[in-house]
Structure 1
Amino acid sequence: MGNLAKALTVAGSDSGGGAGIQADLKTFHQFHVYGMSALTAVTAQNTLGVHGVYPLPAEAVANQMQQVIEDLGVDAMKTGMLFNVEIIEAVAEQIRQHQVKNVVVDPVMIAKGGAKLLLDEAVKAIVEKLLPYTLIVTPNLPEAEHLTGRPIRNVAEMKEAAKAIVAMGAKHVVMKGGHLPADEIVDLLYDGEQFFTFVHQRVNTQHTHGTGCTFSAALTAELAKGSTVYEAMERANRFIIEAIATAPGIGRGHGPTNHWAAIKLSI
């Protein structure tokens, strides 16, 4: 076990278990990675929506990160719900101080039910404080529109947005195309020089809660194990497609994906 890969998630808690640190830790486990967490906020939510958001003090977030990094070490880390400027600045400072590598930023902004998970003034802080330390940022199209201030209506505009986000400091960007109205979904990986395209058929289901968290956690787990960015993207993409296709169908709203999908894929 001396070569055990270790991954840290810095994110909010989802009491329904489908997103946030719960989804991240489940995914880390399925990818055979030791998972650790720094909690940024507690949410009261289920498949029907978010019914309360209770952020932690930035000092508490920073202290969690510090204790984990200094004792256990971190091979890769991801961020999810950060909520406010103070938490973003604290997270960025811990990354800087400890020279954390393989940072994946999932710029969580709005829950599927419409609840705001990132304050408007905090978007600028993500760009200025966090993206310069980011190996991969994984926005969906509404999040990419918020980051870049431009509409995204097709694959060509996805590519332009990806270039703009890399120019902000991130080394790679994954543009998730699921919000475009098409039966065939196009996801893009951009490394600052070239695009890699991943195409798959849309799975018609309402059970997509936590897909962004789960996908970015899979990316992080693969990076922790030493995979290249392309390898991590390919495996995480296969995993989330299978996780959506085999969702357990629980809850009366947008149910969670299948976090056991990695077992079937032998990842």
Structure 2
Amino acid sequence: MDATRPSAVPLALCLGGMDPSGGAGLLRDALTLAELGCQPMAVSLAETLQNGLGCTRIDPPSMDPVARLETLAPHLAGRWGVKLSLCALEATEFRRLCATLRHLAPPLRIWDPILAPSAGVGLHDGGDLRRMAADLLPMGGWVVSPNRGEAAAFAGLPPEAIRSARIEVLTTPWLEAGAVAVWLKGGHAPGDQVQDAWVTADGIQLLEAAPRLPGERRGTGCLLSASWLGLRLQGRDDLMAALESARRLRHRWERACTPGGVGRPMFMPLALFQEAR
């Protein structure tokens, strides 16, 4: 195979926040996608002051992300897809971004809608996510991967609904906004088992249940959604990519690390994980 052909190596475009510690955000996305045989490219939509202890500040990027995205356009051919996550753009700038994405027409699309990093300052509320969805989802083709907290906020439900609301209540608003599928992550549901759900207009499909693992890990949402994109680019279908992503996370859970011995554990690069086995 000619490695110079556009289709030789799948390309994954990551649009999200820069966590300089690499526990989450664009660096975590890039590591995950490279491990799955994809060429990652990234455009920052948010700059953070963040480490393993928490996030203390989130600002819009200093350089125009749409101009950066347009610069990458010649590379976006063959097998490629996009992941959208943390975004600190103002509404008008986000609409510009959506218009550019509509023109580029990525074949695969996943939105990991983030209200806030797992520890520290917040960024969005449910109204913000609904406004973003109104600009993004009508272009079609988007899989959305919220946790139960993000889904409850999007639906306008009170915080206690995170644990008690039915799956259809948490996912129908996303479908009505234009998502083709909602991958509802089950980590915030009560009980000793974790079970995700894959929801489309055709109904709800519960994915395999697994025992809840002890402790916390940074970047679980990033790892899951980036893995889904990478596995889809390698030929898995939607459901199998979601199943394999969750299995990959569980397989690596115990091999987390705390750089400098400080903060919450993060997933180590796959090469280090394999060496430590």
Write the mapping of 1:128-207 to structure 2, written as runs, cut at 5 A.
Answer: 128-132=134-138, 133-150=140-157, 151-154=161-164, 157-198=166-207, 199-206=209-216
| Structure 1 residues 263 and 163, CA gap change in structure 2 (3 angstroms) | farther
- Structure with higher RCO (Cα < 8 A, 6+ apart): 1
Q: Deviations over 1:133-171 (max 9, x none)?
A: 3421000111101111123434x6123322231121000
Give matches, 1:1-267, under 5 Å: 1=3, 2=5, 3-56=8-61, 60-73=64-77, 75-84=80-89, 85-118=91-124, 122-132=128-138, 133-150=140-157, 151-154=161-164, 157-198=166-207, 199-206=209-216, 208-250=217-259, 251-260=261-270
1:73-99: per-residue Cα shift (whole Å, max 9, x none)? Answer: 361110011123234323211111122
CA displacement at 1:223 relative to structure 2? 2.0
What displacement does 1:263 show? 7.7
| 1:70 CA displacement | 2.8
The answer as to whether partners of 1:239 and 1:261 remain within 8 angstroms in 2 is no
Change (3 A) 1:183 1:261: farther
User: What RMSD over aligned residues (CA atoms) do the two structures have, in Å?
Assistant: 2.2
Distance in 1 (CA, whole Å) between partners of 2:115 and 2:240 is 27
Q: Counterpart of 1:231 in structure 2: which amino acid? A: M
SS at match of 1:238: helix
- SS of equivalent to 1:139: coil
Q: Which moves more between the two structures, 16-25 or 38-47? A: 38-47
Percent identity for Structure 1 against Structure 2: 23
Once the two structures are superposed, residues 168-197 of structure 1 have per-residue CA deviations (whole angstroms, 9 ceiling, x without a partner) of 100011111111232101111112213222
1:122 deviates by: 2.7
Q: Which amino acid aligns with 1:82?
A: C
Uncovered stretches (5+) of structure 2, i.e. residues with no partner: none
After superposition, the Cα gap between the structure-2 partners of 1:22 and 1:185, relative to the gap in structure 1 and judged at 3 Å, is: same
1:106–1:248 distance in 2 versus 1, CA, 3 Å: same
Residues 14 and 224 of structure 1, relative CA distance in 2, 3 Å threshold: same
CA contact (8 A) 1:42 1:54 kept: yes
Change (3 A) 1:135 1:33: same
Check conservation: 2:147, 2:184, Cα contact below 8 A. Answer: yes
Q: Is the 8 A contact 1:83 1:122 kept in 2?
A: no
Matched letter for residue 201 of structure 1: P
**Matched residue type, 1:66:** E
Q: Is 1:11–1:21's contact at 8 Å kept on the other side of the alignment?
A: yes
How many angstroms does 1:129 deviate by? Answer: 0.9
Larger Rg: 2
Unaligned runs of 5+ in 1: none
Distance in 2 (CA, whole Å) between partners of 1:134 and 1:55 is 26
